[in-house]
Amino acid sequence: MPALRSWFSIPRGSHFSLANIPFGIISTQSSPTPRVAIAIGDHALDLEAFAAGSGFSALSTIQPHQAVFSQSSLNAFAALGRPVHSVVRKYIQSIFDADTQYPEVLKTNSTLQKQALLPLSEIQNHIPFFIRDYTDFFVGLNHAYNCGVIFRSASEALSPNYKHLPVAYHGRASSVVVSGTPIRRPNGQILVDPAAAKKEPTYAACKKLDFELELGGFICKANNMGEPVSINDAAEHLFGIVLLNDWSARDVQAWESTPLGPFNAKNFGTSISPWVVHSDALEPFKTNGIENDAGVLPYLKEKNESHFDIQLKVDLKPQSSTSTTIVSTNGKHLLWSYPQMIAQHTSTGCPLNVGDLLGSGTISSTDRSGFGSLLEQSENGKVAVKLSGGEERHFLQDGDEVTISGVCGSDEDALVGFGQNVGKVEPALKI
């Protein structure tokens, strides 16, 4: 399929081509109230301003709902449902199309261009959804296996349930923040000497601060309590995807996680990228995930592949040095897909709400260069990870900046990208 051509200047290689149209929440210095926008090339199209300037005049479907674009989160827009998102997204593509049927809307309307098309360098991104509940899955099989080898053994690496259900735990919604928010190194309860027979914990700064490369999926359709979502309907519940960094305090985690799983080791911060790539934009990049040889139960069995072929990488930049790409992997390295996660989450009748966030779990390939955390790359601190500036890392140091990026496709004029998810480590509070 040839790339869509636009009358608007979209730089080659932009993550936000006309094939994408991701949604987010923005503000500007002169107009500080957060509102809905899409990203296109180096610009955001402010949909509140676009609507106010009769931008949707040729799209009657959306006219009764235009107030959703003035909201400070995508929740109200998302709740309109995937068919409405599709119509809006296609309409915006048609407005930017070189041969648009509606040139008067924007192409020849320099007033509205000035009001609604804002350089990305001049906007502030906000968290795209009000997230009531955040769940973190653990469906990156290679990551689960690597962790199992580190903490147990190769033969006991995966728990017996692992290939039968998408394993997950409830996460902390209040500490999900948008890319760019600094992450303070947590203090936490840590075992002084994990090998000692007598357990002597202390409250100290985390010494094993880590990132985790994940996808995050946003829910756009609620289900009632007591009413599971069928695997066949689950794709309609997924608004779209962001890049997620599940910052982790490995020393806190090792001590606290038995028997109820990670808690303080994760709840100090989770970063997401600001532009939500819509499910429609990801359609052409659907692919198979990791093959499941365990026999999937009918309530989790899908008719079609529904993983995403997303090239993912993590760059690490020390405070006073250059950046190194330390992870290169792909979003398809998951055992369970988003529809399967949604079916499992609701299988007992748990109600999902619009705006809920589902983390995928850490994504790792089978080779070390594709391991999605320092825990795996350094084998829990045993092996140094070399950086291009001559430094090395076992875990994150203060001042380190971690950047996750992701993109679908190879046609430089038609990339469907996620932009960046950036977070910088600040020193711990003095105790």
Binding site for a second copy (CB under 8 A): 132-133, 135, 138, 159-161, 164-165, 167-175, 177, 184, 186-189, 199, 201-203, 206, 225-228, 249, 252, 255-265, 267-269, 297-299, 344-345, 347-353, 356, 426, 429, 431
DSSP 380: T
Minimum gap (Å) between residue 315 Cβ and a second copy: 24
3-state secondary structure of 68: helix
For 306-370, give the DSSP string. Answer: -EE--EEEEEEE-TTS--EEEEEEETT--SS-HHHHHHHHTTT-PPP-TT-EEE------SSGGG
Q: Which of 15, 43, 85, 143 is catalytic?
A: 143
Q: Which amino acid is at 353?
A: N
Is residue 34 packed enough to be buried (19+ CB in 10 Å), middle (13-18) or exposed (0-12)?
Answer: buried
First vs last C-alpha separation in the chain = 58
Q: Is 152 known to sit in a ligand binding site?
A: yes
Q: Tell whether residue 136 is among the known ligand binding residues.
A: yes
State which H helix or E strand residue 25 sits in.
strand 23-28
Is the Cβ of residue 84 or residue 177 nearer to a second copy in the bound state?
Answer: 177
Nearer to a second copy, 198 or 320 (CB): 198
Choice between 297 and 384, CB closer to a second copy: 297
189 is known to lie in a ligand binding site: no
221 a known binding residue? no
Q: Is the peptide bond before 259 cis (omega within 30 degrees of 0)?
A: yes
Question: Is 250 labeled as ligand-binding?
Answer: no
Is residue 143 part of the annotated active site? The answer reads: yes
Cβ nearer to a second copy, comparing 194 with 284:
194
Confirm or deny that 348 is annotated as ligand binding: no
Q: Which of 33, 35, 36, 51 is nearest to 106 (CA)?
A: 51
* Nearest one of 61, 64, 68, 56 to 106, comparing CA atoms: 56
The answer on whether 377 is annotated among ligand-binding residues is: no
Q: How far is the CB of 182 from a second copy (least distance, A)?
A: 9
* Smallest gap from residue 370 Cβ to a second copy (A): 22
Minimum distance, C-beta of residue 404 to a second copy, in the bound complex (Å): 20
116 or 206: whose CB is closer to a second copy?
A: 206
How far is the C-alpha of 177 from the C-alpha of 78, rounded, in Å? Answer: 19
**Closest approach of a second copy to the CB of residue 285, in Å:** 29
Q: How much is the CA Rg of the chain, to the nearest whole Å?
A: 22
- Other CB atoms within a 10 A radius of the CB of residue 380 amount to 19
Query: In the numeric block, which tokens belong to residue 33?
Result: 């109230």
| Catalytic site positions | 143
* Sequence ranges of the binding site for Mg(2+): 246, 266, 270
* Sequence ranges of the binding site for Ca(2+): 136, 212, 214, 246
